[in-house]
Amino acid sequence: MIISELQTDAISELINIAFSRSAASLSDLTASRVDLEVPEVSVHPIANITAALHRFVKGDVATVHQVFTGPVAGDAFLLMNFDGAVHLVELLTNGEVVSKGLGASAREVVTEIGNIVMNACLGVFGNLLHVRFSFSVPRLSLDDLGVMVNSLIVDSNPMQHALVVGARFRLRNSEVTGCLVLVLGIASFELFLQEVEAWAERSLRGGANE
Amino acid sequence: MQSNKAFIENLDRLGAWGVITTDTKLFVTGWNRWLEQRSGKPAGEVLGRHIFELYPDLTSRGIDRYFREALEGRDCLLSQRFHKFLLPMPPSVSCTSLMHMQQTARLMPLMDDETVSGTLTLIEDVTERIVTEDELRKQAERLEEAGRHKDDFLAMLAHELRNPLGPIRNGLHVLELVPGDSTEARQTRAMMARQVGHMARIVDDLLDVSRIARGKVRLRHEPCDLTSIVRDVIEDYRPLVEKSGIRLVIDSTPERAIVRGDGVRLAQVVGNLLNNAAKFTNAGGEIRVTREINRKAKTVVVRVSDTGIGMSRETLSRVFDSFAQADSSLDRSKGGLGLGLSLAKGLTNLHGGSIEAASNGPDMGSMFTLVFPLSESEVRENTTVVDGQEPAKHSKRVLVIEDNPDMGLSMQMLLTHLGYRVELAASGTEGLDAARQFQPQIVLCDIGLPGRNGYEVARALRADPDTQQAYLIAQSGYGADDDLRKSHDAGFDLHLTKPVDFTELKRVLSAVPGDPARR
C-alpha cells in the first residue's frame, strides 16, 4: 500500500496534534517541559516492517502494546530502545527511579508513557473518524526487536499494514527516540486513509477540525 | 447495583486490589472490602456519592481527566512514580518519609455490551516495593559516592607515592657523583632517608586503615603511662613543629596516667593529632597539649588544640572519615593522605577510648580530645609501671637471622652502633646453632630463609629450653593478616613488615627487658 504525499502530510499533522497533547500531559505530570516530535511517517506491509523499525530502534527494545477495537481495529505499539527507555524514565522522574534494569516502578512509568501517547493518538483518530475505540490495558514487554517483530508477523494477517511514526521525546536538553506503530488490517487501513484524506481536503478548504 | 455488588465480590477474590466502580456520572456504585479496610470508609458511607465529592483532590491533582478518558472508552494506567497515589490512604508499611500508601492504579471503562456504563478502577498497594526501591537507590548513591571517594583517593595515593620517588632517584645519581664522605653525600642520604620514611609512613597508614576497618589490628594490652607517652611524642615532634615557627606547649603534671594498651599505638594516636595540628597551623601559631587525670571518672583526657585554620561544620562532620578527606583542597595543599585522624579514631576506639573534634569554625582553631579509661589496677594502687621508652642499652644480645647479606649486614651494623651485642646468621639452621651458642634475648628473624624457614626457626627456638625465653621478632615483606597469624602461631612475639621502620624497631627493642627470665 502506498500512501500519497497528501495522506502522509495529513497523518503527520494529526499525529502532531496527538503528540502535542501527549507532551502536555507528560509536562503536567513531570512539572518540566517535555516536547514530542514526529521526525517521519511511513507505511509498510507487515512483512517488511523490520527495516522501517531499524531506523528508530535496534537490539533490545521496550514495547508498550495496546489492542484497540471498533470500526478501525488493530494494535498500537510504542517502541523504544531498552537504554532509551531507561534514560527516558530517568529524565521524566528526575532520577528518582532506580532504572538500570528497568525495575517494576520504571516499567510502570514506561507503560504509562506509552499509554498516554497511544491514547492521545487513538483519541485524535477516533474524533477524526467519529468512532469510539475500545482499548485494552497497556502491556509492556522487554524483548529483542527481532523477537518482537517475529511475534508481530506471526500473529498478524499478511495483508496487514503498519503505520510507523517516529517519536522523539525532548526534555532537559536530552532526547530519546522511539517509534509508534499502528498495525491495521487492510479494510481498517483503507477506511483510515479515506477519512484522513477527507479531513485533509476539508482542512485545505479551511473547514476542517478534528 | 445488585449485579455490580456481585462483580465487586468476584474481584475481591482476585486478591489485594482496591476496586471502585462508578456510573457514567461518576457516582460510586462499587467499593470493595479492601478499600473499606484501607481507607476507613465503609461501603455504606461511599456508595451513591460522587467520586470527586468524596475525594476533591482528584480534581486538583488533575486525575479527573483519567476518569473522563475511561468514560470515553480508554484504559489508563497511573504509575506510582508520576502520581504517588490515587486515593489518600495511610501507608501500609511503616516509613517515616511516606504520608500515604503508594499506589499504582488502572482506570478503565466499564462496558455494557458496546456501551460504556461507567468506570472501573483497580488500585494496587505498592508501598513496600517503593520503600525497597528507594532504599536501593539510596544505597546505590552511597556506593557511588564511596566509589568516587576511593577513585579520588587512589589518584591522590599515586601522587603521594610518586612525589618522594623523584628526590630519591635524584639522590641516587648524586651519590654516584660525589665522594661518599662529603657533605653533599651526607645531606643527600638524609634527604633520601626522609623521603623513604615518608613513603613507608604512607604504606603503613594504608595497611593500618585497612586492618582497623576489618577489625584485624592486634594490640598489646599492657600497662602504659600515657603521661610519658605524650611527653615523648611531643619531644619527637618538637623540632618539626618549632621549625615551622609554631609554639608547642605542654600542660601536664608529671603524674603517671596508666592505661592498658599498646604503647606504640597510643603514641601513634597522639603523634597523628600533633601532626594534624602542625599541618593546619600557620607560623606564629600555637599547639597546646594538655593531659588531665580524672580519678573519679577513672579516665585520662588528652587534648590537642591549635590556633590553626579551624574547620567548617561540614568538614567537622567528616573529619574522621578515611576517604572523604581526599577531596579537601586544603588537605591536599598540605600533602598526605588524610588518614591520620581516621587512624587515630580507629586506634583510640580499639583501646576503649573516644576521640572528638571541635572547632568554632574556619580560622578559629581546632581541638581534638582523647579520653581513655585508666587501668583499673593502676587506679586502685597508683603504682608505677615500666615506661617502656628507655632502652637498656649495651646489655642485650640480638641475633639477626637474614639470608640477604646486605640486609643482614646493615642491620648488624645499625644495632651494633646502638650498643647491642649482635650476631648474624645467614640461614635458619645457622641461626638455630647461633642461638644455642649466643643465648640472645632478642631474635630478629627473616621468614623466607633457605632450608628451615622463619616459622620453623621460631618453633625450634620455642621448643628449646635454652632459647624459649627469647623475644622473637619476625621480619617479612608480607604483612597480610594471614602472615601475621602464621607468625603468631609459630611463636613470634611480633611481626614487622619490611622495610622495617628503624624508629619503631628501636622502640620495640628498647622495650624488651634485658633479663631473659622475664618470660
In this predicted model, what pLDDT tens digit does every residue of B292-336 receive, in sequence order?
Answer: 998 888 999 999 999 999 988 888 888 887 765 544 444 444 556
Tens of pLDDT, residues B17-58? 899 999 999 999 989 888 998 899 998 999 999 999 999 999
B62 contact residues in A (CB cutoff 8 A): 28
Instruction: Please tell me the predicted confidence (pLDDT) of residue A146.
Output: 83
Q: Which of A41-50, B234-243, B265-274, B493-502 has the lowest mean pLDDT?
A: B493-502
Instruction: Please tell me the predicted confidence (pLDDT) of residue B391.
Output: 42
Is B117's pLDDT higher than 50? yes
Task: Answer whether residue A210 is part of any domain.
Answer: no
Encoded amino acid at B277, one letter: A
B139-213: which CATH topology? Helix Hairpins (1.10.287)
B138: its cell numbers:
539510596
Tens of pLDDT, residues A65-97? 988 887 778 888 999 988 888 888 888 887 766
Residue A37 pLDDT level (bands cut at 50, 70, 90):
confident
Q: How far apart are CA A9 and CA B350, in angstroms?
A: 77
Residue B285 pLDDT level (bands cut at 50, 70, 90):
very high
Query: Which of A98, A112, A133 is facing B82, going by the closest CB pair?
Result: A112
- Tell me how many residue pairs between chain A and chain B have CB atoms under 8 A apart: 71
Whether A123 and chain B come into contact, CB under 8 Å, resolves to: yes
Answer for the pair B300, B374: CB distance below 8 angstroms, yes or no: yes
Answer for the pair A9, A111: CB distance below 8 angstroms, yes or no: no
Residue B516 pLDDT level (bands cut at 50, 70, 90):
very low
B2-125: which CATH topology? Beta-Lactamase (3.30.450)
Instruction: Please tell me the predicted confidence (pLDDT) of residue B513.
Output: 66
Contact B77 A134 (CB under 8 A): no
- Mean pLDDT score, A16-44: 84
Instruction: Please tell me the predicted confidence (pLDDT) of residue A120.
Output: 86
- Mean pLDDT score, B130-139: 85
Range picked from A3-12, A26-35, B232-241, B273-282 for highest mean pLDDT: B273-282
Q: How far apart are CA B418 and CA A203, in angstroms?
A: 105
Contact A108 B140 (CB under 8 A): no
Q: Which of A14-18, B164-168, B395-399, B485-489 has the lowest mean pLDDT?
A: B164-168
Number of domains chain A contains: 1
Is B386's pLDDT higher than 60? no
Contact A108 B75 (CB under 8 A): no
Confidence (pTM): 0.57
CATH number at residue A38: 3.40.1550.10
Encoded amino acid at B123, one letter: I
Instruction: Please tell me the predicted confidence (pLDDT) of residue A99.
Output: 54
Q: A72: distance to nearest CA of chain B, Å?
A: 14
Contact B74 A109 (CB under 8 A): no
Among B64, B74, B78, the residue to mutate for chain A (most A Cβ within 10 A) = B74
Tens of pLDDT, residues B217-242? 777 788 889 998 898 888 878 888 88
Answer for the pair B365, B307: CB distance below 8 angstroms, yes or no: yes
Whether A31 and chain B come into contact, CB under 8 Å, resolves to: no
DSSP per-residue codes, chain A: ----HHHHHHHHHHHHHHHHHHHHHHHHHHTS--EEE---EEEEEGGGHHHHHHTT--SEEEEEEEEEESSS-EEEEEEEEHHHHHHHHHHHTTT-S-TTTT-HHHHHHHHHHHHHHHHHHHHHHHHHHT---EEPPPEEEEEEHHHHHHHHHHHS-TT-EEEEEEEEEEETTEEEEEEEEEEE-HHHHHHHHHHHHHHHHHHHTT----
Instruction: Please tell me the predicted confidence (pLDDT) of residue B327.
Output: 46
Task: Answer whether residue A209 is part of any domain.
Answer: no
A98 contact residues in B (CB cutoff 8 A): 133, 136-137, 140
A30 contact residues in B (CB cutoff 8 A): 82
A66: its cell numbers:
495496546
With an 8 Å Cβ cutoff, the interface of chain B facing chain A consists of 62, 69, 72-83, 104, 106, 108-109, 111, 126, 129-130, 133, 136-137, 140
Answer for the pair B263, B224: CB distance below 8 angstroms, yes or no: yes
Torsion of CA B442, B445, B451, B456, to 10 degrees: 70
Is A14's pLDDT higher than 50? yes
Contact A115 B69 (CB under 8 A): no
Residue B3 pLDDT level (bands cut at 50, 70, 90):
low
Q: How far apart are CA A98 and CA B136, in angstroms?
A: 8
Encoded amino acid at B189, one letter: R
A119 contact residues in B (CB cutoff 8 A): 69, 74-76
The residues, ordered by sequence, that sit 6+ positions from B22 with a Cβ below 8 Å of its Cβ are B28, B29, B30, B51, B67, B110, B118, B119, B121
Q: B137: distance to nearest CA of chain A, Å?
A: 6
Whether A132 and chain B come into contact, CB under 8 Å, resolves to: yes
B497 sits in which H/E element: strand B494-497
Q: How far apart are CA B401 and CA A210, in angstroms?
A: 97
DSSP class of B326: G
Query: Which of B75, B79, B137 is facing A136, going by the closest CB pair?
Result: B75
Encoded amino acid at A161, one letter: H
Whether A115 and chain B come into contact, CB under 8 Å, resolves to: yes
- Mean pLDDT score, B254-278: 88
Among B79, B86, B130, the residue to mutate for chain A (most A Cβ within 10 A) = B79
A104 contact residues in B (CB cutoff 8 A): 126, 129, 133
Q: Which of B275-279, B383-387, B502-506 has the lowest mean pLDDT?
A: B383-387
B126 contact residues in A (CB cutoff 8 A): 104-105
Q: B9: distance to nearest CA of chain A, Å?
A: 22
Q: Alpha carbon A146 to chain centroid distance?
A: 18
Is B387's pLDDT higher than 60? no
Task: Answer whether residue A120 is part of any domain.
Answer: yes
Is B380's pLDDT higher than 60? no
A139 contact residues in B (CB cutoff 8 A): none
Is B366's pLDDT higher than 60? yes
Instruction: Please tell me the predicted confidence (pLDDT) of residue A207.
Output: 54
Contact A96 B81 (CB under 8 A): yes
Tens of pLDDT, residues A96-152? 665 567 888 889 999 999 998 888 888 888 887 677 777 788 889 988 888 888 777
Query: b/e map of B231-264 (b: 16 or more CB within 10 Å)?
Result: bbbbeebeeebeebebebeeebeeebbbbbbbbb
Residues of chain B with CATH 3.30.450.20: 2-125
Instruction: Please tell me the predicted confidence (pLDDT) of residue B301.
Output: 94
Domain coverage including residue A171: 5-204
Whether A96 and chain B come into contact, CB under 8 Å, resolves to: yes
Per DSSP bridges, beta strands B17-23 and B28-31 are antiparallel
Whether A111 and chain B come into contact, CB under 8 Å, resolves to: yes
Residue B384 pLDDT level (bands cut at 50, 70, 90):
very low
Contact A111 B79 (CB under 8 A): yes
Contact A134 B73 (CB under 8 A): yes
Range picked from A90-94, A142-146, B355-359, B386-390 for highest mean pLDDT: B355-359
Instruction: Please tell me the predicted confidence (pLDDT) of residue B335.
Output: 58
Q: Alpha carbon B276 to chain centroid distance?
A: 17
B136 contact residues in A (CB cutoff 8 A): 98
CATH level 2 (architecture), domain B397-510: 3-Layer(aba) Sandwich (3.40)
Contact A29 B82 (CB under 8 A): yes
Contact A108 B137 (CB under 8 A): no
- Mean pLDDT score, B71-77: 86
- Domain B222-373 top-level CATH class: alpha beta
Share of chain B above pLDDT 70, in %: 90
ipTM: 0.78
Among A29, A30, A100, A112, the residue to mutate for chain B (most B Cβ within 10 A) = A112
Instruction: Please tell me the predicted confidence (pLDDT) of residue B404.
Output: 79
- Mean pLDDT score, B70-86: 88
Q: How far apart are CA B233 and CA B224, in angstroms?
A: 14
Residues of chain B with CATH 1.10.287.130: 139-213
Residue B383 pLDDT level (bands cut at 50, 70, 90):
very low
Is A156's pLDDT higher than 80? no
